Amino acid sequence: MIVRLLAMLLAVLVLGASPAWAGPVEWVEVPATEAGQQWWDSGSVRENREGLRTVLSRFTPAAVDGEAPRNGELFVMQIDCAQKLYRDQQVNGIPRFRAQWQAAGSDELIVSVIGAVCDAPLAS
């Protein structure tokens, strides 16, 4: 019970107490790849004092022949636009403490999300 309460408190701190996070979701799909599909929420883009951006995104893996479709996942991504790095602060609502910065490498879905989020205007 206490762990769940702490996780919820952390989620509020990570996401911020802004009412905009509770608003409607505006999913923007990036070009699909063999790996699957990815979307980002244009209404959730925020920038902190250090210039790092956060965004809500979701990923659905591509269907594999003969297998049931797999469930997608929701992420709160933090993006360093200057260095083109990202880290997942939450996965399916579960905080990821000490998440490490990663380069997108050849993951075209992540490359597309980083580019789109870094180019997106911030809410005033």
Nearest by Cα to 59 from 70, 74, 80, 44: 74
* Cα distance between the two ends of the chain: 37
Q: Mapping DSSP to helix (H, G, I), strand (E, B) and coil, where does residue 5 land?
A: helix
Neighbours of 106 (CB within 10 A): 7
Q: What is the pLDDT of residue 124?
A: 63
What's the pTM?
0.78
How many whole angstroms separate alpha carbon 79 and alpha carbon 86? 4
> pLDDT truncated to tens, each residue of the chain (124 aa)?
444 444 444 454 444 444 345 568 999 999 999 999 999 999 999 999 999 999 999 999 998 887 877 889 999 999 999 999 999 999 999 999 999 999 999 999 999 999 999 999 987 6
